[in-house]
Amino acid sequence: MKRKLINFNLFRLLSQLSILGILFVLAYDFFIQMNYVDFEAYCPFGGIMALGSFIENESLACSMTSKQIGMGIILFVSIILFSKLFCSNICPIGTVTEFISKQGRKLKVNFTPKGITDKALRIIKYALLAIIFYFTLETSELFCKKFDPFYAIATGFNDDVNVWMAIISIATVFVGSFFIRMFWCKYACPLGALSNIFKNYWAFIILAFIYVILLWTGVKLSLFWFVLSISIIGYIQEILNNPIEKLQLIKIVRDEETCIDCKKCDKSCPQGIPVTEYTKVNHIDCNMCGECVSVCHVKGSIGVNQPKKKLVWLPTLIVAILLVIGLFLGKQFKLPTVNIFWGDGLQKEYSETFTMDNLRDVKCYGSSMSFVEQMKQVPGVVGAATYVDKHRVKVLYDPQRIEPAEIKEAIFNPAKMLNIEPGLDLDSLVIVNVKVNNFFDAYDTYFMNILLSQYSEHTVFGYESMYGEPVNLKLFMDQSPLILNNLKDFIEKDEIIFMEEGIEYTEDLNFEVVSIDLLKEKISRVDFMLKMFKAYNATCNNYENYEQRDIETFRVKVLGYRKNQQMGAHLRNDIARNDTGIVRVKTYYAGDYPIAEIEYVNTITNPENIWNSISKDTLTVTYTNGYVQKLKNPFQFEKIRSEELLIKPEKQH
Ligand code: SF4
Ligand code: SF4
């Protein structure tokens, strides 16, 4: 009997460490370099969810692409043929769960649920799978992002994450797995549920066949019912533990003749499978990690497919090959994020396609749907599709009614950007007309505004953009003498560095000025502000339930503001949550300055409460996903005396 120097599966460990290494590099890129990183770019579970959403709604879940779907298809095939190799070799949550459970066992606080407790706990992951699928189909957004512990940690709890749900799932991974063996993987992981359904593939295939037949015969049945059925049957199959022999091409096999029953393999199994009770390990939890093989010191007792040769490297090699195939597959086809046609059949036949790339604001399902809505307003356009990975749009149009150049113009969103409010001492501003190339999407609009705000030779109070080739920008500037060439060079800078919420960002720029002219006409300060002001108007706290006679208006001047629309929403979010008597927040521009009107129910609150509320230093904004953000209150207000009636606003919004 030889003593083994390495009694763990080195190949698998290298695979797991490589994945963690890649994630650390990505995290460095994301948190330190501040670059955009798509942490879900290769997530097979996301791919399967997205494929479901595409089949049901003809739309891909937000930011999902064919890459993830390719990985999802490979996952499905690989589980049937080779077991849950993704769990044992790739999944970072699996790696962490295994490590934590091991520490718990070392401290003798980790136990393995058995019997009815084990069977009851296994239902959690199937319930989660059905719930995630339901909401993903409903919203075309990946619902699992809300609480995926990996996604929450990797993105620093970004806006997609529901803070409380994510904290619970992170606690489940860390605390649950510390005390209960592989808690996350065995009991809570929805991908684990899906993997086990695929592992017991017969029920899945039979139900899929029935579902397709029902659809074919005209029965309208949501994909959710199929997923619910496979979840219920998958759970029953799992607790009955392998009623059907699996197709799996690789298995752990043990030779009872040579095995000396030392039970080291039992102890080494991360899943707690009693390996010595099997000659072929076909337990549902076995993910071919190979630890039982690596630990065995008796030649010819246990191995992959044959006890004589251990072949412990084989599962890791297979997973590496499958990854390459998955990536290749993902590149071979492209599924649109949305693909909607609203013309008639004849138009479909004769329509032509206009394609445009690099529209960076088309980046998810929500922005894709906004794009579709925008296109629906354009006469002659009969359909639109988006591909968010390339920020690509394809517009189907009737060539008899519209030209590609007109479609391009319809895609362009003209913008008015206020940089700084001119002082009351300025009667008018000069206008500089700039024709610029490489300017099209909302990101260009945003970065141009930041760039112009940094121009130190003059003050650019704001600008507006109009479609053209090149795009036309009107810059509203102070009246001091201007050297246009300096301004041109400034706009053509290669990069900008700017701060946002205390973080420094660097952005590459590529604007190219074709012409720059000082216009003869000027614009008055008031006209400029009326042009730039983005009014806000929203009700809250069941406004519609109150009679008009119960509602009064508290009116204040707004001093110093910038992103008024968004900030109006933030203000309402804070004050309406804290004071249920506030039923509407509205802003508009009146003469020399903006006004905020706060409508309130006079039996619930009063102007003094409202004044205290709006004058706070900090606003607390609570988002629908539960995320809470504290912001410096950007407004300063001034009370208006009732006798000091202001110029009546020109437009009530
Ligand atoms: S297979 Fe190897 S490790 Fe397991 S009981 Fe037999 S001899 Fe021991
Ligand atoms: S039985 Fe062996 S290969 Fe299967 S999970 Fe346990 S240790 Fe890993």
Domain boundary among 386, 411, 436: 411
Q: Is residue 653 part of a domain?
A: no
Residues 67 and 105 placed together within one structural domain of the fold: yes
Q: What CATH number is attached to the domain comprising 463?
A: 3.30.70
Nearest ligand by distance to the CA of 252: 2
- Please state the pTM of the whole predicted model: 0.63
Pocket test for ligand 2, best of 287, 294, 316 (most atoms within 8 A of CB): 287
Q: Position of tokens 């007309």? A: 433
pLDDT (0 to 100) of residue 42: 65
**At 567, phi and psi to the nearest 5?**
-70, -35
Specify the ligand 1 atom closest to the Cα of 264: 3
- Asked if 433 and 426 touch (Cβ cutoff 8 Å), the reply is no
Residues 385 and 420 placed together within one structural domain of the fold: no
Residues 599 and 549 placed together within one structural domain of the fold: yes
**At 625, phi and psi to the nearest 5?**
-85, 10
302-351 per-position pLDDT tens digit: 999 988 888 999 999 999 998 888 888 777 777 788 888 888 876 777 88
- How many Cα atoms occupy the beta-carbon half-sphere of 143 within 13 Å? 17
Q: Where are the beta strands (DSSP E) in 318-409?
A: 338-341, 352-356, 381-387, 392-397
Domain boundary among 530, 552, 570: 530
**CA distance to 195, 237, 246, per residue, from 243 (Å):** 16, 7, 9
Q: Is residue 312 part of a domain?
A: no
Nearest ligand by distance to the CA of 301: 1
Largest CA distance in the chain: 102
Q: Is residue 649 part of a domain?
A: no
DSSP state of 618: E
pLDDT (0 to 100) of residue 135: 83
Residue ranges of the chain whose pLDDT lies below 70: 1-5, 33-42, 53, 56-65, 140-142, 242-246, 346, 560-567, 624-628, 641-653
Q: Is residue 5 part of a domain?
A: no
Residues 116 and 84 placed together within one structural domain of the fold: yes
- Asked if 284 and 200 touch (Cβ cutoff 8 Å), the reply is yes
431-475 per-position pLDDT tens digit: 999 999 999 999 999 999 999 999 999 999 999 999 999 999 999
- By CB neighbour count within 10 A (0-12 exposed, 13-18 middle, 19+ buried), where does 361 fall? middle
Q: Is residue 174 part of a domain?
A: yes
Specify the ligand 1 atom closest to the Cα of 275: 4
Q: Is residue 289 part of a domain?
A: yes
Enumerate residues lining ligand 2, CB below 6 A: 252, 269, 271, 273, 275, 281, 286-292
Residues 501 and 480 placed together within one structural domain of the fold: yes
Q: Quick check: bond before 470 cis, omega within 30?
A: yes
Write the single-letter amino acid at 101. S
Distance 266 CA to ligand 1 centre (A): 8
pLDDT (0 to 100) of residue 310: 87
Domain that holds residue 362: 338-411
Q: Is residue 626 part of a domain?
A: yes
DSSP annotation string for 493-555: -SEEEEEETTEEEEEE---EEEEEEEEEEEEEHHHHHHHH---EEEE-SSGGGS-GGGEEEEE
Distance 292 CA to ligand 2 centre (A): 6
Residues 43 and 178 placed together within one structural domain of the fold: yes
Residues 215 and 104 placed together within one structural domain of the fold: yes
Number of compact structural domains in the chain: 4
Residues 77 and 179 placed together within one structural domain of the fold: yes
Residues 549 and 489 placed together within one structural domain of the fold: no
Q: Is residue 3 part of a domain?
A: no
pLDDT (0 to 100) of residue 389: 76
- The distance from CA 455 to its chain's CA centroid, rounded to whole angstroms, is 34
Distance CA 295, CA 264 (A): 7
Enumerate residues lining ligand 1, CB below 6 A: 254, 259-265, 275-276, 295-296, 298, 301-302
Domain boundary among 530, 562, 579: 530
Distance CA 552, CA 40 (A): 50
Residues 217 and 257 placed together within one structural domain of the fold: yes
Residues 562 and 509 placed together within one structural domain of the fold: no
Residues 507 and 436 placed together within one structural domain of the fold: yes
Q: Count CB-CB contacts under 10 A for residue 453.
A: 17
